[in-house]
Amino acid sequence: MDGKQDIFSRISGQYDRMSKSHKAIADFIFMHYDQAVFMTAAKLGEALGISESTVVRFADRAGYSGYPEFQHALEECVKGKLGNIHKMGARYGRSTQSEILVSVISSDIEKLRDTMDNLEPAAFESAVETILAAETVYVMGLRSNEPLAGFLHFYLSMIRGGVVLLKTTSISETFEQMIRINERDCFIGISFPRYSMRTLKAMEFASDRNAKVIALTDSVNSPMNLYSSCNLLARSDMVSIVDSLVAPLSLINALVVALCLRCPEEVKKNLELLEETWDNYQVYLNDEINFIDDEPILDDSLHREWRSFPE
């Protein structure tokens, strides 16, 4: 067997010829490789209800001299030394399109459950209080985390003033945009693997200026926790070339809802002001579809003209 072949490809190549118990081990590794990497042969067997010796034989069958070598190979792969595209191919290569759909959605549901079970209520409550009390809230998330930062910024701006979305291409630009941050402010750093050094440096800068720092990241081992006083953890996934950010987005959604409920009058006032502005300046003309009498229209005048046509 080719020693350079990654562990997921080895397992995938032999999957169809595996026994039922070996397939169970393979499926667990494909779905929970981030957990399996820390498990002994005995613990892995216990989790699946099979013997330790069966797990050891599985490692041998995969072409390793023993379980320790197998575990080391899995660790190297999880560290990202091997491409995520290989993991995705190994995990989904034998699946139909509908099976992929069910598998991905089921995986996301699992991450939501895991996030819900492990999130510290005290940390969530602290984040809500910190955001409400801050004079200015700075939000930063780069690369695949940028949509999360944009979503949070959009709704925070509906709730309160003084919200800054940091968009940069360099660390120096980041510092320029947050040069006035101080102890009355709050910084929210959003980063999931692979972590952003620019976001980490911005969090360090905010911490040095005595601002309250909130980290939205994936685990207690994340480097984003180094400079934060409040850690909101949501499970992510790197098994494919597409990051799963369902759980982080759900956590942000919960944060927005909690903030709205804490200051409903302020939110109502802001929304009424926005509604008045939209009406006065026709901001949404030809941009959003309204439904009147179950008929989609773009503008009241168009609706009236349409109604004047003979039947």
Mention every residue, 6+ apart, whose C-beta is less than 8 A from residue 236: 111, 192, 193, 218, 243, 244, 245, 247, 248
Concatenated DSSP letters of 154-186: HHHHHH-S-EEEE--SSHHHHHHHTTT--TT-E
Q: What integer pLDDT is reported at residue 93 of this predicted model?
A: 56
Q: What integer pLDDT is reported at residue 294 of this predicted model?
A: 55
Q: What averages of pLDDT result for each successive group of 10 residues across the chain (311 residues)?
A: 57 81 86 80 92 93 90 77 50 63 78 86 94 95 90 90 86 86 96 83 92 91 85 75 79 91 80 72 58 51 46 46
Largest Cα separation within the chain, whole Å, is 84
Q: What integer pLDDT is reported at residue 252 of this predicted model?
A: 94
Q: What integer pLDDT is reported at residue 123 of this predicted model?
A: 94
CA-to-CA distance for 206 and 226, rounded, in angstroms? 12
Q: What integer pLDDT is reported at residue 164 of this predicted model?
A: 94
Q: What domains can be seen in the chain, in order of their start residue?
A: 7-94 (1.10.10.10), 120-262 (3.40.50.10490), 267-308 (no CATH)
Helices 264-281, 146-159: axis angle to 10 degrees equals 100
